Structures are given as C-alpha cells and as structure tokens.
Amino acid sequence: MTTSCVVTGGARGIGRGIAELMVARGHRVVVGDLDADAAAATAAEIGAAAGVAMDVRDPDAHRAVAAEASGHGRLVAWFNNAGVGDDGTLASLSDDQVRRLVEVNVLGAMWGCRAALATFGPGGGDVVNVASLAGLGPVPGYSAYAATKAAVVSLSASVNAESPRGVRVHALCPDGVDTAMLAAQDPAGMGSQLTHSGGRILGVAEVAEAAVALVGSRRVVRTMPGWRAGVMRGAMLSPASAQHAAVLFAAQGRRAMKKR
C-alpha cells in the first residue's frame, strides 16, 4: 500500500531532514512551508511527492495539505515541525512577536493534530510535534517561546491519551539545534546563553532521525539529550534555586559561545 506523510516547515532545517528520511523510508512526502518556492524546490531535490505553500496559522491550510497527502497514498504520519523562535523577555517582545509565537507554535500544532486525526482513518498513524527542551522548565530570556513549547508538550500528551487505538502522538524536545533560527537569536540574550550552556549544540540530522524514530513507537515525550530533562524538571520544582542557577549557566554559555 502506498503511504504518505506531511512535514510542516519542511523546506529547510529539521523539517527538510525529516522529509528526506521519510522519502528514504518509501513514503510519499508532502513538504509544507510558508515559502512556497522553497517548498517546491526542496520537494524536487529530495524526491518528495509535492511541495506546497502552507501557513500553519490557517486551519484551512492544514486541511488542504491533508487532502494533498491523501491523494498520494494513505496518510500515516504528520510532523508538526514549523515553528518560530523569537527570543527575549516577555516584556521586551512586541505584541506581534508574542502573537506569532502563539499562533505558529501552538495553534499550528493544534490545527495539524486535528487535520491528521481527521485524515488517518481506521489504520491510525503518528503525529510528531517538534517541541523543545525549553518547554519543560523555566528559561529566562525565552519566556514566551518556552510557554508555547510547554503547551505543545501538554497538547501531545493529552491528545495521545484521548486518541483512538492506533493513533500515537509524540513530542520531541531537543536542546539547542544548529539551525538558522538559533543563529538569528541575540547572543547577548540570556536565552541564547542558556541554550549554549548545555555543551554540544545538536545537529539537524540527529534531531530529524530522532523525530522519525518516534513513528510507530509508544514513547510520548523524548528529550535530547536525556540528562538535560532532569535539570529542567528539577528547576520547575525549585524556582528560587533555578533563578540562581540560571545566572551560572548563562555565564557557562557565554564561555561556550566564545569558544565556538
């Protein structure tokens, strides 16, 4: 049976890596991206079934992409990868930045889950939501971004629990990844400094591999690297200690950034 999958934000970075791996697995992949030309180019370069314009803030766009994927085979996987990463304190972000973070990162994942669940059919399938380690604890300098990713983790666990048998929903929570999004952030900001405090910045390929590995598994939340999850959850239990530790981690991050 011919099978299909959807990758949002698939024209570059982690999304492109996921799309390439799913093509290699034999799926007919639909690459969705806000940049229509980049989506079409990526699809042609990696052998995907289609590259289409997709604004994840629009629920109709998700339904249209689901229909496109269904035309290429039974939909079996949906990757909600599209996201934005405006860094800065909540007070420093503009109204438009906050709104975009919520609409792209949270509503985009919600609309994607709904479209996937409505399309999978009796055979079921997997939804993989690309969240972030920032969603598991306090991250000063990333407050709005972290809040959206915390929502994605919660969404994944809840939708997985309420979905019918055969449907699995996962959240992948990587630490900092070597993407254009991270490169565009303010190196003087605490968010960036904390991201670089964890040691090695993850590569796009390894994060894409982890996302694809969740397909078919029963694992709901996966963190990368695993040890950082314990640090983040501990910070949630002791906010006062976490505030002090954040200053120390930020200093460590600044040193790491100078060495890079």
Which pLDDT band holds residue 251 (cuts at 50, 70, 90)?
Answer: very low
* Order of strands across the sheet that contains 125-130: 50-53, 28-33, 3-8, 74-80, 125-130, 167-174, 221-224
Q: Considering 111, 120, 145, 249, which one is annotated as catalytic? A: 145
Q: Which residues pair with 15 in a beta bridge?
A: none
- Annotation marks residue 142 as catalytic: no
Q: What angle do CA 31, 32, 36 make, to 5 degrees?
A: 105
Three-class secondary structure of residue 257 per DSSP? helix
Q: What angle do CA 169, 195, 184 make, to 5 degrees?
A: 95
Residue 244 reports pLDDT greater than 90: no
Contact 169, 120 (CB under 8 A): no
What domains does the chain contain, in order, with CATH numbers? 3-186+200-235 (3.40.50.720)
pLDDT in tens, 201-216: 889 999 999 999 999 9
In the chain, DSSP assigns E strands to: 3-8, 28-33, 50-53, 74-80, 125-130, 167-174, 221-224
pLDDT in tens, 23-54: 999 999 999 999 999 999 999 999 999 999 99
pLDDT in tens, 88-117: 999 999 999 999 999 999 999 999 999 999
Q: What angle do CA 102, 60, 130 make, to 5 degrees?
A: 45
Q: Nearest CA to 260 among 203, 209, 189, 199? A: 199
Half-sphere exposure (Cβ direction) of 88: Cα atoms closer than 13 Å: 14
pLDDT in tens, 57-100: 999 999 999 999 999 999 999 999 999 989 899 999 999 999 99
Average pLDDT taken over every residue of the chain: 88
pLDDT in tens, 149-205: 999 999 999 999 999 999 999 999 998 787 777 666 666 555 555 665 666 788 999
